[in-house]
Amino acid sequence: NAGVMQNPRHLVRRRGQEARLRCSPMKGHSHVYWYRQLPEEGLKFMVYLQKENIIDESGMPKERFSAEFPKEGPSILRIQQVVRGDSAAYFCASSPQGGDKQYFGPGTRLTVT
């Protein structure tokens, strides 16, 4: 059973471009969480999704950021018009049910130049 997969592992974007980060949860997991870790800071919750539904997006910046978890395929975190402050490690985690232990992916390190 493969773990949580994230790709790309490293992503470089120029200011103003779009970044798309993908997360494939573990097999059998229908709950996905996205977290961000800014340089020298702790992890912060961004959004919690279940298949085709956003359960909690209280940690998402109001503009430029969106997330989806379609019926088929990976969860996508999309950042439009990236700025230098978006440079961070973005981690995805998944769980079978909402209250279960979460399993983390390896993260995507986004660098905005």
Partner 1 sequence: KNEVEQSPQNLTAQEGEFITINCSYSVGISALHWLQQHPGGGIVSLFMLSSGKKKHGRLIATINIQEKHSSLHITASHPRDSAVYICAARGSQGNLIFGKGTKLSVKP
Q: Binding residues for partner 1, per CB under 8 A?
A: 31, 33, 35, 41-45, 48, 55-56, 58-59, 89, 91, 95, 98-104, 106-107, 109
Residue 84: what are its φ and ψ, rounded to 5°?
-60, -35
The DSSP code sequence of 46-108 is EEEEETTEEEE-TTS-SSSEEEE--SSS-EEEEE-S--GGG-EEEEEEEESSTTSPPEE---E
Residue 104 CB, nearest distance to partner 1 (Å)? 4
Residue 108 CB, nearest distance to partner 1 (Å)? 10
The helix/strand/coil state of 14 is: coil
Residue 81 CB, nearest distance to partner 1 (Å)? 26
